[in-house]
Amino acid sequence: MGSFKGHALPGSFFLVAGIWWAGKYSLWYATRRNKHIGSTRLTSRASQRRMEIFESSVMIFFSVVGMLAEQFLADGPKLQLYDFTEKHWEDLMNWQHATMYLFFGLAGTVSLITHTTDATPLALDRLMLALAFFNEGFLFFYHLHDRSMLDVHVHQLLLYAVFGEALVAFMEVFHRGNILLELLRCTLTILQGSWFWEIGFVLYPPRGPEWDLKDHSNVMFITMCYSWHLAFAMLIVSVLYWRVNCAVRSRLKRTPPMEMGLLKTGERDAESEDEVL
């Protein structure tokens, strides 16, 4: 999918994922911090679980859509891997992209199993996410042969975000629930998403003149641009964190926790279990 759309689509997925995660983790963190004024009314353990299941399902859905799109859209290989008549591989780019989606699909599936049954250790969802990001970076890394300088450079910069996310997700296996790691992952996801859009605009400008892919000052500008995207991603995550935090507090102030005593014992246990995670 070497086209503007082929970069804008995954970019949008990652943007949405990053924003969703930033909201989710901010909400849960605000809940944990305001527990003493009854914040568990807002997100109980059961509702957290429902959010995780919803998220996993959406992840699986988009991964399958992504795989199908790479295979069956206009220039896709339609599940044919090798052209025996002309003796060459069919559309390896599309196959590689489909493989990336496959790993995110696996991560979603495992996350779904983890949060619906208790057969697997909880941290497995983060490990699978780390592997999915690592796999994405791994395939991109060997993807860049024989392209022009700027093309290689914009994809290399992408790898900082991708491997950064893999590393942060792997660290979350050991430091689960650390809000800073979670927000850092959100930031890198948004960075990845907006950078996909940037790649689309640079390599396949929808209008306006083509970029000179061999000019070194373009490389320098693009590098700086990456820093700005990072600052922009940090800004978005900060604003989301701030808004969610304010919303939780104002909501808690308006409705005093009078129904506290009505909680069934079973539900309480389930919530205190939450802190152990």
Residues in the site for a second copy, rule: CB under 8 A? 29, 88-89, 92, 95-96, 99, 102-103, 106, 119-121, 123-124, 127, 131, 135, 138-139, 142-143, 145-146, 160, 173-175, 179-180, 184, 216-221, 223-224, 226-228, 230-231, 234, 241-242, 245
The CB-of-154 to a second copy minimum distance in angstroms stands at: 12
The CB-of-259 to a second copy minimum distance in angstroms stands at: 27
Strand partners, 88: 83
Q: Which is nearer to a second copy, 16 or 90 (CB)?
A: 90
The CB-of-55 to a second copy minimum distance in angstroms stands at: 20
Number of C-beta neighbours around residue 182 at 10 A: 23
Q: Which is nearer to a second copy, 56 or 135 (CB)?
A: 135
The CB-of-262 to a second copy minimum distance in angstroms stands at: 30
Q: Which is nearer to a second copy, 40 or 135 (CB)?
A: 135
Q: Which is nearer to a second copy, 16 or 152 (CB)?
A: 152
The CB-of-258 to a second copy minimum distance in angstroms stands at: 26
Q: Which is nearer to a second copy, 224 or 262 (CB)?
A: 224
The CB-of-60 to a second copy minimum distance in angstroms stands at: 15
Q: Which is nearer to a second copy, 47 or 148 (CB)?
A: 148
